[in-house]
């Protein structure tokens, strides 16, 4: 699949910011659009960077004294989408995509937390699976099966 095919399905809407805007403005844009990153443009509308949630965390880590009065419980996501160890990886990835989440707690049958799966974990697992199948097919074609 080509990137243009993904963009045809996803759409080409990109949320942007400008390098001279304040961090507060960027954060408001991220929250308003429920996104994780802004493409940063210069005055000529040329891409000069990306400002993401991780950039905000880096900034907060060096100015964390101002956050000591805030409680996690006042800002955390309370409706948590979770998975079960026996859930299918592809279905889980679809569920995470639909829910617009990147991290999924995995709970056992007694609702005990046993792990955390990220979108990146699922992508890596899928790529590993494809690579394995490709090597198996190559072994069949070249007569080196089992590979």
pLDDT digits (tens, 9 = 90+) for 31-41: 999 889 999 99
Domain boundaries, the chain: 1-67, 79-147
Q: What would you measure as the largest C-alpha separation in the chain, in angstroms?
A: 66
Q: Which residues contact 36 (CB under 8 A, 6 or more apart)?
A: 30, 52, 53, 102
Find out if CATH 1.10.760.10 is the number for domain 1-67: no
Q: For the segment 59-90, what is each residue's pLDDT rounded down to a tens digit? A: 988 876 777 777 878 888 889 999 999 999 99
Per the prediction, the chain carries an average pLDDT of 88
* 17 within 8 A of 40, measured Cβ to Cβ: yes
Pairing of strands 47-52, 37-41: antiparallel
Which has the closest alpha carbon to 82: 94, 97, 72, 92?
92
Quote the pTM value.
0.69
- On the question of a common fold for 1-67 and 79-147, the answer reads yes
Average pLDDT over residues 7-15: 86
**What pLDDT sits at residue 77?**
83
pLDDT band at 93 (very low <50, low <70, confident <90, very high): very high
DSSP alpha helix (H) spans, 3-145? 3-10, 23-33, 53-62, 89-99, 119-142
CATH number of 79-147: 3.10.580.10
Report pLDDT for 138: 83
Angle between helices 89-99 and 119-142 (to 10 degrees): 140
* Contact between 29 and 63 (Cβ < 8 Å): no
Reduce the DSSP state of residue 11 to 3 states and report it.
Answer: coil
Which long-range contacts (C-beta less than 8 Å, at least 24 apart) are formed by 33-42? 34/100, 36/102, 39/14, 39/15, 40/16, 41/16, 41/17, 42/18
DSSP letter at 19? T
């Amino acid at each position: 699949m080509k990137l243009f095919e993904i963009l045809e399905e996803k759409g080409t809407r990109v949320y942007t910011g400008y390098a001279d805007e304040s961090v507060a403005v960027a954060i408001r844009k991220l929250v308003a659009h429920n996104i994780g990153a802004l493409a940063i443009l210069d005055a000529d509308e040329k891409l000069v960077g990306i400002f993401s949630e991780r950039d905000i965390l880096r900034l907060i880590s060096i100015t964390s004294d101002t956050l000591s009065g805030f409680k996690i419980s006042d800002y955390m996501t309370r409706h948590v989408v979770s998975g079960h160890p026996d859930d299918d990886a592809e279905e889980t990835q679809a569920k995470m995509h639909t829910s617009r989440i990147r991290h999924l707690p995995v709970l056992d049958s007694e609702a005990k937390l046993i792990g955390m799966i990220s979108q990146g974990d699922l992508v890596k697992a899928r790529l590993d699976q494809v690579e394995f199948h490709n090597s198996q097919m190559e072994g069949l074609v070249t007569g080196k099966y089992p590979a």
